[in-house]
Chain A
Amino acid sequence: MFKAIFAKELLENFASRRILMVLVLCLILVPLGVYVGGRDYQVRLHAYQESFRLYQQDHKTVEDILYKGGGKGFRPPSPFGFLSQGLDIIVPNIAESPATTRQKPPIDIRLNNNQSYENLYASFYGPLDLVFIVSVIMTFLAIVFSFGAVSGEKEQGTLRQILGNSVPRPTVILAKTAAHFSILVGAFLAAMILSLLVLIACGYSLAGPGGVLGETALALVLSILVIGAFLNLGLLVSALTRQAVSSFIILLLCWVFLFGVFPRLSVVMAQLISPVKSQQLLLQERNRVRLENEKARSVEIDKIVESGDNTQEKQDAVSAEFRAKLTQAFQKLDREQDNRQNAQMQLAVHISRLSPVSCFVRPMAEVARTGWMQFEQYRQDVGRFGAALDDQVYGQYQEFRQKGGSNVGFKGNGSAPAPVLQAGRIRTEDVVKNVLPDALLLVAFNLLFFTGAFVAFLRYDVR
């Protein structure tokens, strides 16, 4: 019986125009989005390699960093950007140390994203990446597919005829769900296979080091879960209503709320509940702390100069003491800001998880290495880079103040190789650990909506 209803549903769907729409949209948009993402990655990779090469040409030694505009550390683009552009446009892609030798360690590393200004239009309209195609187009198609699955048959009276025979209700709803799921996921899988071929043609390797298969598989699982969630939501609403048009309108409003309104509201709610001071203000506060520290250090050094027992060792000891104080003060400021920002982010993430779309969008950014984990990783890389610059470059400046002036000299090894920012890699296991709660929630949404549809269908009164 299951097989017969399953086949009937498949045939009905194949005979309708909807299947054509799904196939056209899937088979065009998904490979196109992947192709655009792949090309974009190649352009960015070229820009990154070219910038790195040009920078390395002029910054071979410590001396080059001192006299040629400071040190720079670049963030390589993510090869999985075709899955989700995520925060890539706003996460800094360049870290610059001060171009002056005046600043004393710990130096301020300026983080900037010089790619954001060339992507104003792309950002204004949003990217056409896989995450957009799945979270918006595929979920919309899931609704288009399922809104009439039960209510349409109620309206036409065919459901009454089916249930007039000895057909178990669970078999009917299970067969309907399986048929709709097979068509939608089948079309999506076909599109993904085509996309993988596009990636191979673009020069990507699937397996081995640098292969994209693992991340694509992870993205595929998340995509199928979110499509399934909306399909089941469609069945639930369809089972609860008596007219196809009403179920479509309700679903449409649910869709807009879940993809457009709720995730946005979650961020704002978190901002209102747990406000965080701006990065700009933090930078100015750091500047103020640095100035005060410098002023206090200067007073102490002047005391040594005036004391008559003025030695390099004594001045160095005072400088080291103030450097430690400044480091502590900066760490305190940064820690406070990080704690506040992480608390706000966590709150927003938890609230947003009430929508299946958010459970899909944020994890996809992490899978694509364009999310917050990537930013945290880059910050750690920059921290190590800054520490190396402090030790080998800026911290090697020695000042000896005397009455009537100061002697400043570089005591380090100017011809030593310049420190280079080593970009760390986020392991797939860490990503899986991070996205697991969202994946489980998506499973829960699927179960919840399907159970709802199942119960509503069982309780349907055919009279």
Chain B
Amino acid sequence: MFKTIVIKEFQENIRDFRFVVATLLCMIIIPLGFFINAKDYQAKEQNDRDSVRLYDDSHKMVIDVMRLGGAAFRPSSPLSMLSGGVEHLLPTSVETVGYITNWGAQIQFVNTRSLDSPLSFLYGRIDLSFIVAVIMSLLAMLFTYNSIAGEKEKRTLSQIMANAVPRNTVIMAKMTAGSLLVGVVFLLGILLGLFVLLIMGHAIFSDAGLFGRFLVGVAASLAYILVFLTFGLLVSSLNRSALSAIVGLMVCWVILFLILPKASVIVAKILRPVKSQQVIDIEKSQVRMQMQREEDQEIRQLQKTMPGVKDMTERDFFKNLRAGDENAKAYNKKQTEVQEQYRIKSDTELDRIDALYENQRHLQAEIARNISRLSPVSCFVHIMAELSNTGFAEYRAWQETRSQFKQAVDRDISSKSGFTRFGNMAVGGGGIDRKAPAPKVEYKPVRFGDVAATTWPDVLVLVIFGFLFFAGSYVAFLRYDVR
């Protein structure tokens, strides 16, 4: 019986113009999206390579970094065809700001990529995440909106029910047929897309890790399509006319897909307001300057009060220091201690401001994220963005990279650029090996394990949505009164 109904559903759907539309859309849009994103990636990769080459040419040694400033670059994600995520906002590089002093390097995020294509920010990208979240979910609902409501309307369901057909068999068969049909059409589009990528010689074919992630992305897409199929079935079971089912579905879709995720950010901002980064940056710069002023005053005070050196002239002091005078050496040692003390104090204070701010921002983001999980769309787009290394885990990884780059610059330059100051003269920086190779940090993409750790709640919620919708449609169908 199950097989008969599945075949009947198959035949009905294949004869319908919706099947033709779905097939055409999948066979055109998915490969087109892959082609476009692969081309875009190739162009970006070429630009990235050229930028790094030009940087490396001019930054061979430590002295070059001291003179021109240092940078570490983030390459474009080869999996951006799965999801562009927030790539246009992620930093394209981390760079030093101003002089690199014994106070430690100031490193900031720089984003030059967002202005390369401003209109794509305005209109959005055509990646697999968008294709599945919008087009495939609509197609899934178009395939199921009338599977029960349509049969109720045409009275064919009463005829089926009048025979000895178990209701659960009917709904299971309808679900199976719909899923298989949409799944096959989608996978055909993916296969064609892969063929396009193969012809273009895309990087995913030369890296098993990337290909694995791609397959996981396809599996997540299938799970998401299944959720919308069950959702369509649920609304169809609850309605008596196909028209009200499709209109109801579309209204729910607009709310789930378009309004809820945006509203989650608004609610989070109202519940947990966070200071602007602009103000934080200025506050940090004020703290830094205040500390430098205090350090300067303490060193001047030391110079004025320290016995043996307080009466020396600038010239005498440096002459005595070179000659190994005990008083000058003691002053130098004490000054180094003061400098170190202020550097630690400044680092602690700046880290405290950063940590406080990051913590507040993290809390706000968590609220937004948890509220947005009420929509399967949010869960899906998050999974895809993280898989593609264009999501929030990538941003956190770049915060880590910024720290590593700072450590490298501090290790090679700042820690060795101690100055001895006396009066208005400062001598030092001799400890730096200016001809040593320039400090560098290698880009490390977020590991799959970390992606899994970040996205498992979304996967779980997506599965729960699927079960809930199917259970709802199952119960609604069992309770349907054929009279």
Interface residues, chain A, with chain B CB atoms under 8 Å away: 21, 29, 32, 36, 43-44, 46-48, 50-51, 54-55, 58, 68-70, 74, 86-87, 89-94, 96, 98-100, 102, 110, 112-128, 132, 136-137, 140, 144, 148, 244-245, 248-249, 252-253, 256, 260-261, 263-268, 270-272, 275-281, 283-285, 287-288, 291, 345, 348-349, 352, 358, 361-362, 365, 372, 375
For residue B270, which residue of chain A has the nearest CB? A39
Tell me whether B119 and A58 are in contact (CB under 8 A): no
| Interface: B407 (CB within 8 A) | no
Q: Can you offer 22 A-B residue contacts whose CB atoms are under 8 A? A: A29-B259, A47-B276, A51-B278, A51-B282, A54-B286, A58-B289, A116-B89, A121-B265, A122-B265, A127-B262, A244-B243, A256-B135, A264-B130, A265-B32, A265-B36, A268-B40, A268-B126, A271-B39, A272-B36, A276-B116, A288-B58, A362-B119
CA distance A173 to B19 in the complex (A): 33
Tell me whether B262 and A126 are in contact (CB under 8 A): yes
Tell me whether A47 and B111 are in contact (CB under 8 A): no
| Interface: B44 (CB within 8 A) | yes
For residue A85, which residue of chain B has the nearest CB? B122
- Over the window 176-196 of chain B, the binary record of Cβ atoms lying under 8 Å from chain A Cβ atoms (1 yes, 0 no) is 000000000000000000000
CB contact list, B96-112 vs A, under 8 A:
97-99, 108-112
Contact (A112, B119) CB under 8 Å given A117-B395, A281-B50: no
Contact of B247 among A122, A125, A144 (CB under 8 A): A144
| Interface: B261 (CB within 8 A) | yes
Q: Which residues of A contact B359 (CB under 8 A)?
A: none
CA distance A102 to B146 in the complex (A): 72
Contact of A118 among B18, B130, B274 (CB under 8 A): B274
Chain B CB within 10 Å — which of A94, A287, A358 has the most?
A287
For residue B357, which residue of chain A has the nearest CB? A118
CA distance A360 to B8 in the complex (A): 45
- Over the window 122-165 of chain B, the binary record of Cβ atoms lying under 8 Å from chain A Cβ atoms (1 yes, 0 no) is 11111000100011001000100010000000000000000000
Tell me whether B18 and A279 are in contact (CB under 8 A): no
Chain B CB within 10 Å — which of A47, A94, A358 has the most?
A47
CA distance A102 to B91 in the complex (A): 26
Q: Which residues of B contact A112 (CB under 8 A)?
A: 108, 110-111
Tell me whether A265 and B126 are in contact (CB under 8 A): yes
Tell me whether B289 and A114 are in contact (CB under 8 A): no
Chain A CB within 10 Å — which of B57, B119, B365, B372 has the most?
B119
CA distance A277 to B45 in the complex (A): 11
Known contacts A69-B98, A280-B112, A281-B51, then 8 further A-B pairs from the complex at CB < 8 Å, ordered by chain A residue: A43-B273, A54-B279, A58-B286, A91-B118, A96-B97, A115-B278, A291-B58, A362-B122
Q: A419 → chain B, closest Cβ, in Å? A: 18
Tell me whether A245 and B115 are in contact (CB under 8 A): no
Contact of A121 among B135, B247, B365 (CB under 8 A): B365
Tell me whether B86 and A249 are in contact (CB under 8 A): no
CA distance A159 to B259 in the complex (A): 37
| Interface: B421 (CB within 8 A) | no
Tell me whether A125 and B117 are in contact (CB under 8 A): no
Q: Which residues of B contact A281 (CB under 8 A)?
A: 47, 50-51, 54
For residue B246, which residue of chain A has the nearest CB? A248
Contact (A124, B381) CB under 8 Å given A260-B135, A268-B36: yes
| Interface: B268 (CB within 8 A) | yes
CB contact list, B426-442 vs A, under 8 A:
none
CA distance A28 to B246 in the complex (A): 23
For residue B288, which residue of chain A has the nearest CB? A69
CA distance A60 to B378 in the complex (A): 48
CB contact list, B294-311 vs A, under 8 A:
none
Q: Which residues of A contact B482 (CB under 8 A)?
A: none
Q: Which residues of B contact A127 (CB under 8 A)?
A: 262
Contact of B89 among A70, A89, A110 (CB under 8 A): A89
Contact of B266 among A36, A267, A375 (CB under 8 A): A36
Q: A190 → chain B, closest Cβ, in Å? A: 20
Tell me whether B18 and A114 are in contact (CB under 8 A): no
Q: Which residues of A contact B262 (CB under 8 A)?
A: 125-128, 132
Q: Which residues of B contact A252 (CB under 8 A)?
A: 138, 142, 250
Q: Which residues of A contact B2 (CB under 8 A)?
A: none
CA distance A362 to B113 in the complex (A): 20
Q: Which residues of B contact A271 (CB under 8 A)?
A: 39-40, 43, 117, 120
Contact of A264 among B54, B120, B138 (CB under 8 A): B120
Closest 4 CB pairs of A and B: A99-B98, A47-B276, A90-B114, A284-B54
For residue B98, which residue of chain A has the nearest CB? A99
Tell me whether B114 and A280 are in contact (CB under 8 A): no
For residue B255, which residue of chain A has the nearest CB? A25
CA distance A98 to B381 in the complex (A): 39
Tell me whether B261 and A125 are in contact (CB under 8 A): yes
Q: A393 → chain B, closest Cβ, in Å? A: 14
| Interface: B285 (CB within 8 A) | yes
Q: Which residues of A contact B110 (CB under 8 A)?
A: 110, 112
Q: Which residues of A contact B146 (CB under 8 A)?
A: 245
Q: What interface size band does chain B fall in?
A: 35 or more
Contact (A100, B99) CB under 8 Å given A47-B279, A116-B114, A267-B117: yes
CA distance A121 to B261 in the complex (A): 9
CA distance A264 to B123 in the complex (A): 6
Tell me whether B278 and A140 are in contact (CB under 8 A): no
CA distance A112 to B113 in the complex (A): 11
CA distance A260 to B138 in the complex (A): 12
Tell me whether A98 and B98 are in contact (CB under 8 A): yes
CA distance A123 to B88 in the complex (A): 10
Tell me whether B89 and A117 are in contact (CB under 8 A): yes
Contact (A43, B89) CB under 8 Å given A125-B261, A252-B138: no
CA distance A146 to B15 in the complex (A): 27
Q: Which residues of A contact B265 (CB under 8 A)?
A: 121-122, 125
Chain A CB within 10 Å — which of B39, B43, B51 has the most?
B51
Contact of B98 among A48, A70, A263 (CB under 8 A): A70
Q: A119 → chain B, closest Cβ, in Å? A: 8
Tell me whether B138 and A280 are in contact (CB under 8 A): no
Contact (A90, B243) CB under 8 Å given A51-B278, A99-B98, A260-B134: no
CA distance A278 to B115 in the complex (A): 9
| Interface: B323 (CB within 8 A) | no
Q: Which residues of B contact A58 (CB under 8 A)?
A: 285-286, 289
CA distance A68 to B282 in the complex (A): 12
Tell me whether B50 and A284 are in contact (CB under 8 A): yes
Tell me whether A280 and B278 are in contact (CB under 8 A): no
Tell me whether A125 and B243 are in contact (CB under 8 A): no
CA distance A221 to B114 in the complex (A): 30
Q: A67 → chain B, closest Cβ, in Å? A: 10
Q: A366 → chain B, closest Cβ, in Å? A: 11
For residue B109, which residue of chain A has the nearest CB? A117
Contact of B277 among A117, A245, A345 (CB under 8 A): A117
For residue A290, which residue of chain B has the nearest CB? B68
| Interface: B220 (CB within 8 A) | no
Q: B404 → chain A, closest Cβ, in Å? A: 18
Tell me whether A120 and B392 are in contact (CB under 8 A): yes
| Interface: B264 (CB within 8 A) | yes
CB contact list, B78-101 vs A, under 8 A:
85-86, 88-89, 91-93, 97-99
CA distance A125 to B246 in the complex (A): 25
CA distance A48 to B43 in the complex (A): 36
CA distance A425 to B115 in the complex (A): 21
Q: Which residues of A contact B277 (CB under 8 A)?
A: 114-115, 117-118
Q: A278 → chain B, closest Cβ, in Å? A: 4
| Interface: B325 (CB within 8 A) | no
Tell me whether B54 and A245 are in contact (CB under 8 A): no
Q: Which residues of B contact A280 (CB under 8 A)?
A: 47-48, 51, 73, 92-93, 112-113
Tell me whether B118 and A87 are in contact (CB under 8 A): yes
CA distance A102 to B122 in the complex (A): 39
Q: Which residues of B contact A148 (CB under 8 A)?
A: 243
Q: B287 → chain A, closest Cβ, in Å? A: 11
Q: Which residues of A contact B328 (CB under 8 A)?
A: none
Q: Which residues of B contact A372 (CB under 8 A)?
A: 118
| Interface: B29 (CB within 8 A) | yes
